[in-house]
């Protein structure tokens, strides 16, 4: 015990640990110090159902945003996939009418052109707005020709328009 009375010697009476007064025989507490107070009860705060629902909802939204950005799922890709499911045409399709022309261009500030998709050696860097000719597509990568060189670029870095 922290505040237990102690004896000074075998022959002496017990002494209070706080005020060092001698204690009456058989007593545990000093008459001057009194017994220690009980600890203050800590009341548990409970959340209402609506507060709990809002906090869980906020955490779910935060988690969804984290997953959305961590998996690099861009809103443009989602919209492109939706348009594919609807059966509408995409910019990757070549128009059947020869009077229209699909023009592809770089949509980021700087774009690496690689010798192979994903981890190939960088063979050149293109700037935003530079036009490229798309020869082939393979798993979200496009084989392009720019400045007389052929290389691969991620589809995320390309935009296209029809003229």
Domain of 4 in residue numbering reads as: 1-37
The answer as to whether 1 is a domain residue is yes
Domain shared by 98 and 138, yes or no? yes
Q: State whether 129 and 155 are in the same domain.
A: yes
* Confidence at residue 8, expressed as pLDDT on a 0 to 100 scale: 47
Could you report the per-residue pLDDT of 112-151, keeping only the tens digit for each? Answer: 888 888 788 888 888 888 888 888 888 888 888 888 888 9
pTM of the shown model? 0.41
Question: Do 68 and 13 share a structural domain?
Answer: no
What is the C-alpha to C-alpha distance for residues 104 and 129, in angstroms, rounded to an integer? 9
| pLDDT at site 57 | 96
Coil, helix or strand at residue 80 = helix
**8 Å CB contact between 111 and 132:** no
Residues 30 and 63 in one domain: no
Separation between Cα atoms, residue 162 and residue 82, nearest integer Å: 20
Is 140 within a domain? yes
Residue scoring higher pLDDT (163 or 76): 163
Same domain assignment for residues 154 and 104: yes
Structure confidence at residue 79 as a pLDDT band (50, 70, 90): low
**Average confidence (pLDDT) over 17-35:** 75
Residue 89, CA atoms < 13 Å, CB-side half-sphere: 10
Number of domains observed in the structure of the chain: 3
Task: Please list the residues that pair with 154 across neighbouring strands.
Answer: 141
Q: Tell me whether residue 42 is in a domain.
A: no
């Amino acid at each position: 015990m922290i505040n237990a009375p102690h004896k000074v010697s075998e022959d002496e009476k017990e002494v209070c640990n706080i005020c060092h007064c001698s204690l009456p025989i058989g007593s545990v507490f000093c008459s001057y110090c009194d017994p220690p107070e009980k600890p203050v009860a800590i009341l548990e705060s409970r959340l209402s159902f609506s507060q709990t629902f809002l906090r869980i909802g906020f955490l779910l939204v935060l988690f969804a945003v984290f997953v959305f950005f961590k998996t690099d799922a861009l809103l443009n890709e989602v919209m492109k996939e939706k348009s594919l499911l609807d059966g509408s045409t995409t910019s990757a399709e070549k128009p059947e009418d020869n009077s229209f022309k699909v023009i592809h261009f770089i949509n980021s500030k700087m774009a690496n052109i690689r010798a192979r998709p994903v981890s190939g050696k960088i063979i050149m860097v293109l700037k935003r707005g530079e036009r490229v000719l798309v020869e082939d597509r393979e798993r979200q990568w496009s084989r392009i020709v720019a400045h007389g060189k052929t290389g691969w670029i991620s589809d995320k870095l390309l935009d296209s328009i029809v003229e």
